[in-house]
């Protein structure tokens, strides 16, 4: 019987009350009470999951369960009475989180294994607490924590048991029940695919999270802007955890955050990590109110006052400088509007309580980053972080928020386009100046036009260079610089550039030391004052040609508002399935179809599409993941890298940008690739265009089957030129009904060149006739190949799997994916179940054809195959079987024949034929012959029979 709706509504109301109390306790830092409340809510939510017969409802409940379970895990870790427990707690939290993701992907066995591991870690801690209690060594006051740990371990065990039960129980039709009242908890997901139009920056997102409840209820945080599918929500939730901290997605009412905390705010996540050099210089962490009496917040004009200190984040400081210069030039806030609290005018303001919040674009969407105003100070009173010479606190706080996400003040550095993407959400583009394909003139035109319209932010970077060369040029090796201005004047292309150090200037052409290039007219046009340049503030002019000669890269970030339409998706690429190295096998790669709207008109340019693939970063470390994005025409999955419209370059960068001139109304398939998989990766894929567009997962055929086999001693027949081609594994594919399409993929265990060919008939292919060929995977490819079937008539077909050379032994996996039901069955090899005799002979010019006497004493079925493997060229041959009445007599009527003379590499063969009579001896002649009488060649005759026969070579007739 199903529980009455009124009973379920009572449970819903109880859960809502429990969660509300837990959230309130969490907000007020009463973490023990919050832990108890969440634990009780989990127990009730799990019971609803067990009782639920509605799949969508169960999915929603499971998502909420996962969110609050994550928060319980965090609180258990935070409140652990013994430091030694924390490693096991962390392992348990990680295992259970992965178990819930595996459950969502229906990987039941993996999920159960992960549940067992996570629960085992909790049980290990419980045993330790019991032993310590027995020895009188348990820390005082930990009984409540132990009780909550035991409750959570038991709930997790029941969660696993429910999963196991669901995996073995057959599905049943639920009884009709009244619709229950909705559970008043954070809005979770929408299954609706969205197309975002006319946006200034990438959208914010609605993401449920247990951590969200620790700050405030979801209702208080407002409604979402971007809606996520269940799969996307799981990805965004997972990648909220960066460098050991959690950064929640930004919601609409986060602008109403309470910054008046009633005292001095201290970040619960602690101080940011310092490098060894910074630690040696650190004197203390000081509040901004102790550094400045009433500090300004981004109130200074331009970026001349911003100075990089001991943090190795020149890329960030350069990014921040170009942002504030852009704001001054165009009056449009691109970064300062992302620091809170703000005045009604939108400007950030000083908060005496020391609580601040930044809105940063991290791992695919906007996220909230909360910080306090404690900054590292050296003994001489100087800040060890980026600071303002005019006492402006804004740069120091924005840097702290950025570096909190990146792991600390010991940040190893990045590139400015990546950092600008975090600060602004603008589209990053990275251009290598020294690349052979670099077009300096075209780049300047694009860059200068975008600069003039305020649509691009630009930084430049040097590469590695010797100390002597760098000193002579006044440049810093491997360093980022901010581009503050860009002009064409006096016939020159010039850039105004700032070193984030606010010192050490360029000394080449158009520098302060170059007296020859600066004419009075040029100085007037650029408002250049040589006297003002005597002090080195790190700002200088440089000609574009010198940038192209001495710098390594140009980093640009483009305003997404230049495009009228955009679409996005977030996804995971798990480590399995699929090969670790998928350079030739795209069958398991994430793939998406992009359809561009509109219609073609004569004289109109094709709409430009920008496609941005962004890898989510979970830890600041050396990036060893080489990723690429390939583009194919059409709206179908791609299985191997052939006929690509655009092959992407594999790069170990977090962003890959692919521009594409698209045809209106056309569809494209986007294939995400990486050089070698070592772990699960998470991505956001965004497409921008002036025309409407749609982005969706690439379709997968509805019907599929996999079979495994091997090429062995008798089944590795080689390619179509091999006499043994017919020995290769063959399968009968039968499709009834309407025409069909799909794909066959073949993967070998060894790196042998492999091939698929499909022929009409459904019978064993013993001779390759191109007229019967329906499809092929093309040239032999190492280890993997794919064969497409496009709009094929229903019927029976033969699928032949081959290696390039005979005797290339390997196991293989054949996968079929069709859009119609089908049947697949192996075809027995020629002569299967019959006895084989192998006979050798030779034709001599002008001589009669060799003959073989076959004697049988029983009725039997026979088959004869004739091949000429050593002949070159291949002669036209035939093999026939005649009744024989004895020596000196002419052969009787033919019993079987291979038909017309032909010269196939696989030779010729008779059909299986019955001969002989039971109880008496019968004689037959087998005659292998050539069309031309002057042939000088050897041959091989394979004779198959169901029962034993005697075969004797006969002397040719005189």
Known catalytic residues?
A: 314, 479, 499
The vertex-655 CA angle with 652 and 657, nearest 5°, equals 115
Return phi, psi of residue 655, to 5°.
-125, 140
Query: Strand 456-461 vs strand 480-489: parallel, antiparallel, or unpaired?
Result: antiparallel
Name the strand (E) or helix (H) holding 680.
Answer: none
In whole angstroms, give the CA distance from residue 929 to residue 482. 85
In whole angstroms, give the CA distance from residue 594 to residue 241. 30
The count of other CB atoms within 10 Å of the CB of residue 251 is 24
- Residues forming beta bridges with residue 526, ordered by sequence position: none
Dihedral angle at the C-alpha atoms of 245, 248, 249, 254, nearest 10 degrees? -130
In whole angstroms, give the CA distance from residue 913 to residue 931. 24
Q: Are 118 and 157 in contact (CB under 8 A)?
A: no
Helix (H, G, I), strand (E, B) or coil at 813: strand
In whole angstroms, give the CA distance from residue 428 to residue 405. 19
Q: Which of 586, 580, 699, 589 is closest to 641 using CA atoms?
A: 586
Q: Which of 861, 818, 863 is closest to 837 using CA atoms?
A: 863
In whole angstroms, give the CA distance from residue 931 to residue 177. 82
Report DSSP state, residue 848. Answer: P
DSSP assignments along 868-886, one per residue: -TT-SSPPPEEEEEEE---
Tokens of 698: 């690439």
In whole angstroms, give the CA distance from residue 882 to residue 384. 101
Q: What share of the chain is helix, strand, coil (3-state, %, to 5)?
A: 30, 30, 45
Q: How far is CA 356 from CA 11, 80, 288, 427, 847, in A?
A: 39, 28, 12, 26, 103
In whole angstroms, give the CA distance from residue 628 to residue 674. 6
* Gap between the terminal Cα atoms of the chain: 95
Q: Are 275 and 410 in contact (CB under 8 A)?
A: yes
Report DSSP state, residue 44. Answer: H
Q: Which of 376, 375, 294, 306 is closest to 336 using CA atoms?
A: 306
Tokens of 609: 């599409």
Tokens of 889: 């007599």
In whole angstroms, give the CA distance from residue 417 to residue 316. 9
Tokens of 762: 């459904």
Which letter, b or e, does each residue of 527-553 get, where b requires 16 or more Cβ atoms within 10 Å of its Cβ? Answer: ebeeeebeeebbbbbbbbebbbebbbb
Q: Are 580 and 783 in contact (CB under 8 A)?
A: no
In whole angstroms, give the CA distance from residue 417 to residue 37. 44
Strands of 645-749, DSSP E = 655-661, 667-674, 681-689, 693-697, 703-711, 730-735, 740-748
For CA atoms 85, 64, 96, 162, the dihedral sign is: positive
Work out the angle between the directed axes of helices 55-78 and 31-51 (0-180°, nearest 10): 160
Q: How far is CA 350 from CA 8, 287, 599, 721, in A?
A: 49, 12, 52, 81
Tokens of 650: 């594999």
In whole angstroms, give the CA distance from residue 256 to residue 691. 35
In whole angstroms, give the CA distance from residue 274 to residue 282. 9
In whole angstroms, give the CA distance from residue 539 to residue 519. 19
């Amino acid at each position: 019987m199903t529980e009455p709706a009124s009973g379920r509504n009572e449970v819903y109301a109880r859960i809502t009350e429990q969660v509300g109390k837990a959230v309130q306790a969490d907000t007020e830092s009463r973490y023990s009470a919050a832990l108890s409340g969440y634990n009780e809510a989990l127990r009730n939510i799990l019971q609803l999951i067990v009782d639920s017969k509605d799949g969508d409802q169960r999915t929603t409940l499971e998502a909420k369960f996962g969110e609050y379970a994550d928060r319980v895990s965090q609180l258990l870790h935070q409140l652990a009475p013994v430091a030694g427990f924390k490693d096991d707690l962390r392992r348990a939290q990680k295992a259970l989180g992965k178990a819930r993701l595996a459950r969502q992907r229906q990987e039941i066995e993996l999920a159960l294994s992960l549940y067992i591991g996570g629960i085992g870690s909790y049980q290990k801690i419980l045993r330790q607490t019991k032993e310590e209690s027995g020895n009188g060594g348990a820390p005082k006051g930990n009984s409540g924590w132990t009780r909550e740990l035991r409750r959570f371990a038991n709930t997790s065990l029941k969660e696993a048991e429910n999963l196991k039960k669901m995996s073995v129980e057959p599905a049943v039709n639920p009884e009709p029940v009244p619709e229950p009242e909705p559970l008043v908890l954070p809005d979770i997901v929408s299954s609706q695919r969205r197309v975002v139009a006319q946006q200034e920056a990438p959208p914010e997102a609605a993401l449920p999270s247990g951590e969200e409840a620790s700050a405030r209820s979801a209702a208080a945080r407002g409604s979402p802007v971007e809606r996520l599918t269940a799969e996307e929500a799981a990805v965004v939730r997972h990648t909220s955890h960066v460098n050991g901290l959690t950064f929640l997605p930004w919601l609409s009412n986060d602008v109403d955050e309470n910054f008046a905390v009633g005292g001095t705010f201290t970040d619960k996540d602690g101080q940011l990590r310092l490098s060894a050099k910074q630690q040696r210089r650190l004197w203390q962490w000081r509040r901004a109110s102790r550094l400045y009496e009433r500090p300004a917040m981004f109130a200074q004009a331009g970026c001349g006052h911003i100075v990089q200190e001991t943090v190795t984040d020149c890329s960030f400081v350069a990014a921040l400088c170009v942002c504030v210069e852009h704001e001054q030039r165009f009056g449009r806030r691109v970064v300062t509007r992302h620091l809170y609290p703000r005045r009604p005018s939108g400007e950030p303001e000083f908060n005496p309580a020391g609580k601040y919040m930044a809105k940063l674009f991290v791992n695919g969407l906007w996220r909230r980053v909360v910080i306090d105003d404690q900054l590292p100070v050296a003994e001489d009173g100087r800040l060890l972080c980026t600071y303002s010479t005019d006492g402006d606190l804004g740069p120091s706080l924005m840097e702290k928020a950025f570096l909190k996400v990146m792991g600390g003040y010991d940040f190893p550095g990045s590139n400015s386009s990546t950092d600008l993407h975090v600060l602004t959400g603008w589209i990053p583009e990275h251009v290598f100046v020294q690349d052979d394909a670099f077009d300096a003139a075209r780049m300047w035109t694009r860059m200068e036009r975008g600069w003039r319209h305020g649509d691009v932010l630009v930084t430049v970077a040097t590469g590695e260079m010797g100390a002597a060369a760098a000193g002579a040029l006044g440049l810093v090796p491997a360093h980022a610089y901010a581009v503050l201005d860009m002009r064409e004047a006096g016939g020159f292309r010039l850039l105004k550039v700032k070193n984030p150090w606010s010192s050490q200037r360029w000394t080449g052409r158009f520098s302060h030391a170059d007296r020859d290039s600066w004419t009075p007219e040029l100085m007037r046009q650029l408002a250049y004052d040589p006297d003002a340049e005597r002090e080195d503030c790190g700002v200088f002019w440089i000609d574009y040609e010198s940038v192209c000669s001495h710098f390594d890269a140009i980093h640009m970030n483009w305003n997404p508002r230049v495009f009228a339409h955009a679409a996005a998706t977030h996804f995971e690429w798990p480590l399995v399935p699929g090969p670790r190295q998928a350079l030739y096998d795209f069958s398991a790669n994430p793939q998406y179809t992009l359809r561009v709207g509109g219609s073609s008109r004569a004289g109109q340019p094709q709409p430009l599409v920008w496609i941005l693939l962004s890898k989510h970063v979970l830890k600041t470390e050396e990036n060893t993941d080489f990723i690429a994005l390939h583009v194919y025409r059409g709206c179908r999955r791609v299985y191997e890298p052939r006929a690509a419209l655009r092959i992407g370059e594999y790069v170990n960068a977090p962003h890959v940008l692919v521009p594409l001139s698209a045809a209106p109304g056309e569809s494209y398939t986007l294939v995400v690739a990486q050089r070698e998989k070592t772990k699960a990766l998470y991505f956001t894929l965004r497409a921008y265009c002036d025309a409407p567009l749609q982005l969706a997962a690439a379709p997968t055929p509805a019907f599929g089957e996999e079979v495994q086999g091997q090429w062995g001693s008798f089944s590795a027949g080689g390619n179509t030129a091999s006499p043994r081609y017919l020995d290769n594994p063959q399968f009968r594919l039968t499709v009834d009904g309407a025409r069909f399409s799909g794909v066959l993929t073949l993967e070998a265990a060894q790196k042998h060149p492999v091939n698929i060919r499909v022929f009409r008939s459904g019978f064993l292919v013993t001779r390759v006739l191109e007229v019967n060929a329906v499809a092929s995977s093309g040239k032999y490819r190492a280890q993997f190949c794919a064969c497409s079937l496009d709009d094929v008539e229903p019927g029976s077909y033969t699928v032949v799997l081959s290696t390039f050379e005979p005797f290339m032994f390997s196991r293989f996996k054949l996968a079929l994916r069709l859009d119609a039901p089908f049947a697949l069955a192996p075809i027995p090899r020629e002569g299967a179940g019959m006895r084989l005799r192998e006979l050798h002979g030779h034709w001599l010019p002008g001589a009669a054809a060799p003959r073989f006497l076959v004697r049988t004493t029983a009725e039997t079925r026979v088959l004869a195959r004739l091949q000429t493997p050593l002949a070159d060229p291949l002669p036209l041959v035939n093999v026939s079987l005649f009744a024989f009445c004895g020596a000196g007599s002419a052969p009787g009527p033919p019993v079987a024949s291979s038909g017309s003379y032909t010269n196939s590499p696989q030779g010729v063969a008779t059909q299986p034929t019955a001969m002989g009579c039971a109880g008496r001896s019968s004689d037959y002649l087998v005659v292998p012959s050539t069309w031309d009488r002057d042939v000088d060649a050897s041959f091989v005759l394979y004779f198959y029979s169901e029962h034993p026969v005697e075969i004797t070579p006969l002397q040719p007739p005189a």
